[in-house]
Amino acid sequence: MPSRDMKMRIIEENSNHVSSARDHLVFAYYVTGHGFGHATRVVEVARHLVAAGHDVHVVTGAPDFVFTSEIQSPNLFIRKVLLDCGAVQADALTVDRLASLEKYSQTAVVPRASILATEVEWLNSIKADLVISDVVPVACRAAADAGIRSVCVTNFSWDFIYAEYVMAAGYHHRSIVWQIAEDYSHCEFLLRLPGYCPMPAFCDVFDVPLVVRRSHKSRAEVRSELGIGEDVKLVLFNFGGQQAGWTLKQESLPEGWLCLVCAASDNQELPPNFIKLAKDVYTPDLIAACDVMLGKIGYGTFSEALAYKLPFVFVRRDYFNEEPFLRNMLEYYQGGVEMIRRDLLTGHWRPYLERALSLKPCYEDGINGGEVAARILQDTAIGKKYASNKFSGARRLRDAIILGYQLQRAPGRDIGIPEWYTLAENELGLRPALPSVGPYEKSTLAESCIENFEILHGDLHDLPDTMAFLKSLAGLNCGVESGKNTEKRQFRERMAASGIFNWEDEIFVARAPGRLDVMGGIADYSGSLVLQMPIKEACHVAVQRNHPSKHKLWKHALARQQAKGQGPIPVLQIVSYGSELSNRAPTFDMDLPYLMDGQQPITYEKAYKFFAQDPSQKWVGSIYCRNNPRFDV
């Protein structure tokens, strides 16, 4: 991809050293204990500070090579101390919410007094001019106690992440969230990175570009060192350092592809078309050599994929609130393809990899955030005061509303990204909220929405939301446009839904006064007037039943059948509008024989266990099993 090579040159050309306004400054840089993404972006900021002649003391639990491979200088000091824990992960994709809060309490709450005393003494001993945090809460309070200014550099804060965990761990853990927010409030301001979450604890905010590590080698150089020709397609397998126990299969890759595996365990045996990489491999160089990346979304993978315009096939993580904001930005710039977890684990990768090759990532904004942040940090350390952002008050109120919702919402509800926060369109991606309409307008709307349909049974009951849903349904038959700058940006669910209906056959539409009434209890409400209640917040469902030979299958579902060498079998495909406003996938599909035992449906208990195998689909088991006296299809 020539555009990616051009972007790499831009990174190097823009990576000028930060000129020193004072001969020698001392920075204390605290790095959170969660993953490598924070450490790698700290490297990029610290590199510019060290190049300007300043001392940088990094406080971290990450391996030394993460920092020393890029910064070889006597001005870099590494202090191995861990003052928070981040999110405790059961595996590469699943966060243990209760364990995360309990470990944070043991790490930073119980020994808090001792930590503060130790850090204040240490900061004074090194004569720190500025404390920087990414994004360790107690570091901000320690700086305040030592009389030193502090600045945070991040795209999320732990009070927002932990707010969701309180739902699982119990409200008595909310004091942890309040304490973290109070610690952050001692920070002078936040340098906010793209893909940011709500962060109301910070008094002031200044936005900086993406912080991205520079590459050192060209695509041709890396491939030459690996002994791989230009005609070979390369995928980078990057799921962090957590051991998942997955078995990688030779048949997972299309013919002619190779896979570079990051952070593989020493004793892991790999197929011949998979290549194990060294633990300290430099990822930006690999990204330059690859055609696709397969992994989970974190700031490190997200930012480097955008900056180097590398298509990113990603699998969702459970219970990590940062992800929806990064994912929305990745998809907005046409850089992401979502793979369902079942297909990752069973090795049905081909349709996703081939789809990724067709993408044209288009991120063109700044990628010199390391240099920009370092300049601001240097100016702050010598006493410069940055003018307060005039929008900070409104920003804090907006962020506080979302954080408050996180802490108070009912258990089981997904994290939402409100329309006014992301400038997203409404759940249909077509229109603003429905206005009230008079009798004449209702008649006009009804005529326009049914001109594409022949209604065989039922009545519209003059419900404007039902009329609008039918109009939206008819619009699917016209296709959807692609591109991030279209006047009516279409969401992925509309693209998925446009291809699954046979428009010459019957479609059944139902309306119920709430999502759970349709999705969880339609069997109980069938034939009831409750389906026609004129409640504003209603749910609409359009259903079509087809013979397997007439199914219009998504590519990955079709590939799954072809891999089994079977003829057409029944498949359930679901598209759920509104996924962009919450952290859930817009589509779901499964082969219906999984739910059959011979000629009979499997029991609820077996169905629940089946869906529980994949935490991202466990909610489907609840729909089948909760409060339903019988199995209805």
Could you report the per-residue pLDDT of 291-313, keeping only the tens digit for each?
999 999 999 999 999 999 999 99
- Residue scoring higher pLDDT (503 or 513): 503
pLDDT interval class at 90 (50, 70, 90):
confident
Say if residues 319 and 346 touch (Cβ distance below 8 Å).
no
**Cα(518)–Cα(533) distance, rounded to whole angstroms?**
13
Closest by Cα among 94, 89, 107 to 35: 89
Task: Extract long-range pairs of 616-624: CB within 8 Å, 24+ residues apart.
Answer: 616/93, 616/316, 616/318, 616/340, 616/341, 616/585, 617/341, 617/342, 617/588, 619/584, 620/588, 622/520, 623/519, 623/520
Helix axes of 174-184 and 158-169: crossing angle, nearest 10 degrees: 170
Give the best-scoring range by mean pLDDT among 92-101, 304-313, 431-440. Answer: 304-313
Say if residues 498 and 476 touch (Cβ distance below 8 Å).
yes
Confidence check: pLDDT of 155 > 90: yes
Task: Provide the token pair at 389.
Answer: 């952002």
**Predicted TM-score of the model (pTM):** 0.80
**Cα(344)–Cα(335) distance, rounded to whole angstroms?**
19
Tell me the mean pLDDT in the region 569-581.
77
| DSSP sequence for 510-575 | EEESSHHHHHHHHHHHTT-GGGG---SS-EEEEE----GGG----HHHHHHHHHHT-----EEEEE
**Strands in 136-256 per DSSP E:** 150-154, 189-192, 205-207, 233-238
| DSSP sequence for 344-381 | HHHT--HHHHHHHHT------S--BHHHHHHHHHHHHH
pLDDT in tens, 445-477: 556 556 667 787 877 777 888 888 888 888 887
Region of 171 (left: φ > 0; alpha: ψ -120 to 50; beta: rest) is alpha
Tell me the mean pLDDT in the region 476-485.
57
pLDDT interval class at 52 (50, 70, 90):
very high
Rounded percentage of the chain residues whose pLDDT exceeds 90? 46
For the four alpha carbons of 453, 458, 460 and 463, in that order, the dihedral sign comes to negative
Say if residues 603 and 625 touch (Cβ distance below 8 Å).
no
pLDDT interval class at 36 (50, 70, 90):
confident
Q: How far apart are the first and last CA of the chain?
A: 48
**Cα(44)–Cα(525) distance, rounded to whole angstroms?**
58
Omega of the bond leading into 42 within 30 degrees of 0 (cis): no
Task: Provide the token pair at 444.
Answer: 């006009």
Say if residues 320 and 161 touch (Cβ distance below 8 Å).
yes
Domain ranges for the chain: 23-212+370-417, 219-357, 442-625
pLDDT score, position 307: 97
pLDDT in tens, 222-276: 999 999 999 999 999 998 765 556 789 999 999 999 999 998 887 888 999 999 9
- Please state which of the four CATH numbers 3.40.50.2000, 3.30.70.1560, 1.10.1040.10, 3.40.980.10 is assigned to the domain occupying 219-357: 3.40.50.2000
Say if residues 158 and 137 touch (Cβ distance below 8 Å).
yes
pLDDT score, position 244: 58
Confidence check: pLDDT of 314 > 80: yes
pLDDT score, position 629: 36
Residue 378 φ then ψ, to 5°:
-65, -45
Closest by Cα among 305, 294, 309 to 254: 294
Give the H/E segment covering residue 295: strand 292-295
Helix axes of 112-126 and 137-145: crossing angle, nearest 10 degrees: 60
pLDDT score, position 472: 83
Domain 23-212+370-417 identical in fold to domain 219-357: yes
- Where do we find the tokens 């008819």? 474
**Cα(161)–Cα(155) distance, rounded to whole angstroms?**
11
- Residue scoring higher pLDDT (73 or 20): 73
Say if residues 64 and 167 touch (Cβ distance below 8 Å).
no
pLDDT score, position 614: 66
Q: How many CB atoms lie within 10 A of CB 596?
A: 12
pLDDT score, position 625: 55
pLDDT in tens, 187-201: 999 999 999 999 999
Mean pLDDT, rounded, of the chain: 81
pLDDT score, position 530: 44
- Residue scoring higher pLDDT (128 or 345): 128
What is the Cβ-side half-sphere exposure of residue 17, based on CA atoms within 13 angstroms?
Answer: 9
**Cα(476)–Cα(542) distance, rounded to whole angstroms?**
12
- Where do we find the tokens 């002994």? 227
pLDDT interval class at 407 (50, 70, 90):
low
- At the fourth CATH level, which superfamily is domain 23-212+370-417? Glycogen Phosphorylase B; (3.40.50.2000)
pLDDT in tens, 100-128: 999 999 999 999 999 999 999 999 999 99
Task: Provide the token pair at 561.
Answer: 């059948």
pLDDT score, position 7: 35
